[in-house]
Structure 1
Amino acid sequence: MKRMYFAISILVILLCGSLGLNIWLYNISYRQYIKTESLRFDPYELNNYPESPDIFKKDRLKSLVVFFGDSRAAAWPEIADISYDFANRGINGQTTNQVLQRLPAHVATLSPKVVVIQVGVNDLKNIVIFPDRAQSIVANCKQNIQQIVEKLTQELQTTVVITTIFPAGELSLLRRLYWTTEIDRSIIEVNQFIKSLKSDRIIILDAATILADERGVTRSEYSQDHLHLNAIGYTKLNNELEQILKSLVR
């Protein structure tokens, strides 16, 4: 009898675990479905930000810094007690092409002095889904980044602080199913390209070197999850960014 109760208990636990896993997977799939369907109406997500809010009028007293890019840019906090105003134009999940296409609406209208760019990982993580397109994904990522930088520096006469792509953090067993060493290799390749863009108006903030440990993985003390930083990680980057911004005031 005890064995039967034990077997029933194990079966109930397995069924509950299976139900919980299926609910979790359903929620993830549903959110992705909603995101995909919404992009049919607004593929570059231009409606996420107003075109020209009053707070960023051109008669402001301080120069404006804009954080621009994907979710990593969206989470980037302002630097306190510095002679700049800040605006954030990051959007979760965006690729380099989406960022490029929304630049006129989300950045040009603000007339910033400095634009801080973090973008690229959402392109490269698709390599696990389309391994046969790895080379073209990397090439397109580089091309889009170059066009973003050129539009900002040449057309808007803006100083660009472009960060190297943050390396991934520690991967959970589940996340390993959606990640490959080819993505890590591609991040390194694109980061080398980003460093090659350095010029008078293009400043490189080498986030990858600042954040990574000896294995090339973002240190656990800086990680919120495998892709995103916590407050300590952003503080580390802002220490470097603050010095860059102060040097531009001179």
Structure 2
Amino acid sequence: MKTKMLVKYFYLGITFITLTCGSIHAQDRDFGGLNRYAQENKNITVSAKPVKVVFMGNSITEGWVNCHPAFFTDNGYVGRGISGQTSSQFLLRFREDVIKLSPLLVVINAGTNDVAENTGSYNEEYTFGNIMSMVELAEVHKIKVILTSTLPAASFGWNPSIKDAKAKIASLNARIKAYAHEHKIPYVDYYAKMVYGDNGALNPKYTKDGVHPTAEGYDVMEALIKEAIDKVL
């Protein structure tokens, strides 16, 4: 009897340790990426330097800052893109990377990694809901919003199992555009200016991998978004 009880307690102890270690490990992962810009955000708030516009996005936004840094520094824009992130992760860090910086305006570009299923199966309702939630949070804090289309992509090199990217991106963009129109939010259509071919690909003039813009691609985007920002502000 004592042996059975000891064995029982032994396995209970192992289970407790496993669950505890698992929880600690999960907490260390920073799924939302809140630490990515933590120091830069702190520097901005401490300096009390006004932020004109925050660009919220994924690697397309992060690459934009790296490729054309002057576009951001010269115009008082701040890039808050994190490679690989989906809209749910944007929403998790929206307070830290947007609201606390008190910008006049936020530009939201989401959807690419959702469709690519970076954090799970794609569900348009969830992605669209995340975008709406970011808009609502911005409006509560008196931050103006510009919504942008998801960029065209026929496929994703890191997830070749996605065969219907064109249809999913087109559907999401139509929904974002309709929502923007209904709520009188400016909408910038990168897609229409950058799509190429019947498969909904990103124009090869503007990309090397079919997903991320080159410097020439960012030139196209800059002309479109700068005009929209100037109208809003």
Please classify the TM superposition score into its range, dividing by the shorter chain length.
0.7 to 0.9
TM-score, L = length of structure 1: 0.71
Of 227, 238, 248, the match for 2:222 = 238
Q: Any residues of structure 2 matched to 1:1-250 within 5 Å, and which?
A: 40-50=28-38, 52-55=41-44, 59-60=48-49, 63-77=51-65, 80=71, 84-126=75-117, 137-153=123-139, 155-168=140-153, 177-181=160-164, 183-199=165-181, 202-215=185-198, 216-249=200-233
TM-align CA RMSD? 2.9
Percent of residue pairs bearing the same amino acid type? 25
Distance 1:87 1:184, change over 3 A: same
Runs of 5+ unmatched residues, structure 1: 1-36
SS of corresponding position for 2:94: helix
Pairwise CA distance, 1:177: 3.3
Pairwise CA distance, 1:99: 0.5
The number of aligned residues is: 203
Output the CA distance in 2 between the equivalents of 1:82 and 1:48: 19
Whether the 8 Å contact between 1:67 and 1:76 is mirrored in structure 2 is: no
Distance 1:50 1:177, change over 3 A: closer
Whether the 8 Å contact between 2:204 and 2:210 is mirrored in structure 1 is: no
Distance 1:211 1:41, change over 3 A: same
Q: Which residue type is aligned with residue 139 of structure 1? A: E
Distance 1:38 1:64, change over 3 A: farther
Pairwise CA distance, 1:54: 3.1
SS of corresponding position for 1:246: helix
Output the CA distance in 2 between the equivalents of 1:39 and 1:168: 33
Output the CA distance in 1 between the equivalents of 2:56 and 2:128: 16
Whether the 8 Å contact between 1:113 and 1:159 is mirrored in structure 2 is: yes
Runs of 5+ unmatched residues, structure 2: 1-24
Whether the 8 Å contact between 1:68 and 1:74 is mirrored in structure 2 is: no
Pairwise CA distance, 1:213: 2.1
TM-score, L = length of structure 2: 0.76
Q: Which residue type is aligned with residue 245 of structure 1? A: I
Whether the 8 Å contact between 1:39 and 1:45 is mirrored in structure 2 is: no
